[in-house]
Amino acid sequence: MSTPIIDLTELFGLSGRGDAPGRLLGKLETANHTGSVKDRPVERMLRDPRVAGAHTLVEATGGNTGISLAVAGSMLGKRVIVTMSRKMSPGKVRQMEEAGAEVILCPLVGLDSPANFINVARQLGEAEGHWYVDQFNNPANVEAHYETTGPELLEQVRDLDAFVAGAGTGGTLTGAGRALKERNPGIDVVLADPAGSTLGPHLRGEETEPAPYLVEGIGGDFLPPLLDFGVLDTAYQVDDAEAAAHLRTLAAAAIDVGSSSGTTVGAALAYLRDHPGATVCALLADSGDRYAETWRNQAWLTDHGL
């Protein structure tokens, strides 16, 4: 099943803009079974023969991979242990626990600290009978997007000029980006990056100090090993306030998506300002249901100046 493409051109006021208004599309990954794009890599990573020999699956996650793995693990009869930074929304923990996973919340510290969520998962993965799924290094993560997300886009959007997504592991952009470029090297692959992340500046050859931001699941303070910067054409940085504004616009049209979709829509609109008339598709990575206490909660938004 392909996830739907929705047309956001009118919602974002593009249709009335001059002779070459452009087209803004969204790929609605909320239509996947657990409500996020992460069902794709999880399904593919669990084809690994090492799954059969493990009683426990361990993973480090921004939340969505954990939700997907928790559900898959319960169907496979495997114990699932997930590590996640405390920054992430409590709704994600709830969904993982409802599916029977054990969630270990870790402090928001860099990879140089043993308490970092990725280091904690790697350590737990070494125990007898445990398998560390390791989406940050597992090539099946990229393959899933190379074989599904990219070809779907080519099939669904015939005159695509640019694909816009964020990078957590980089699996989406590297996998889908390679598939798009292979078919049509003229398609731009665009990184949507939260302001404060070091990834967008790195693409421009600048090494910056990371700054905190609230958007979840994308950007970061380290270069994800699977992210192929060679496949990226350009990056746009979007701050939390702009992401929140776009989420409000989407919510008002009953399009219920999570924080990183505000960033991808912001980056797609910036791309359209630079490329009038283009057809751009932004990945809408996850459902708003897991952000009930945060991005979909007015009191929280107000508290955070959003």
**Which residues have a catalytic role annotated?**
38
Q: How crowded is residue 292: how many other Cβ atoms within 10 Å of its Cβ?
A: 14
Residue 133 lies near ligand PMP (rule: CB under 6 A): no
- Compare residues 167 and 301 and give the one whose CB is closer to ligand PMP: 167
Residue 103 lies near ligand PMP (rule: CB under 6 A): no
Q: Contact at 8 Å (CB) between 12 and 265?
A: yes
Residue 258 lies near ligand PMP (rule: CB under 6 A): yes
- Compare residues 260 and 294 and give the one whose CB is closer to ligand PMP: 260
Residue 218 lies near ligand PMP (rule: CB under 6 A): yes
Which segment (47-55, 79-87, 112-120, 167-175) binds ligand PMP by CB under 6 A?
Answer: 167-175
Pairing of strands 162-165, 279-284: parallel
How far apart are the C-alpha atoms of 109 and 214, rounded to whole Å? 15
Question: What single-letter amino acid sits at 11?
Answer: L
Q: In angstroms, give the least distance from the CB of 127 to ligand PMP.
A: 24
Which segment (75-83, 198-206, 213-221, 229-237) binds ligand PMP by CB under 6 A?
Answer: 213-221
Give CA torsion, residues 230, 235, 239, 245, to 10 deg: -120
Binder among 169, 197, 234, 287 for ligand PMP (CB under 6 A)? 169
Residue 95 lies near ligand PMP (rule: CB under 6 A): no
Which segment (160-168, 230-238, 239-247, 272-280) binds ligand PMP by CB under 6 A?
Answer: 160-168
Residue 68 lies near ligand PMP (rule: CB under 6 A): no
Pick the closest to residue 258 from 270, 268, 250 (CA basis). Answer: 250
Q: Which residues of 172-193 are buried (b: 16+ CB within 10 A; e: fewer)?
A: bbbbbbbbbbeeeeebbbbbbb
- Compare residues 162 and 192 and give the one whose CB is closer to ligand PMP: 192
Which positions touch ligand PMP (CB under 6 A)? 62, 64, 166-172, 216-218, 258, 260, 285-286
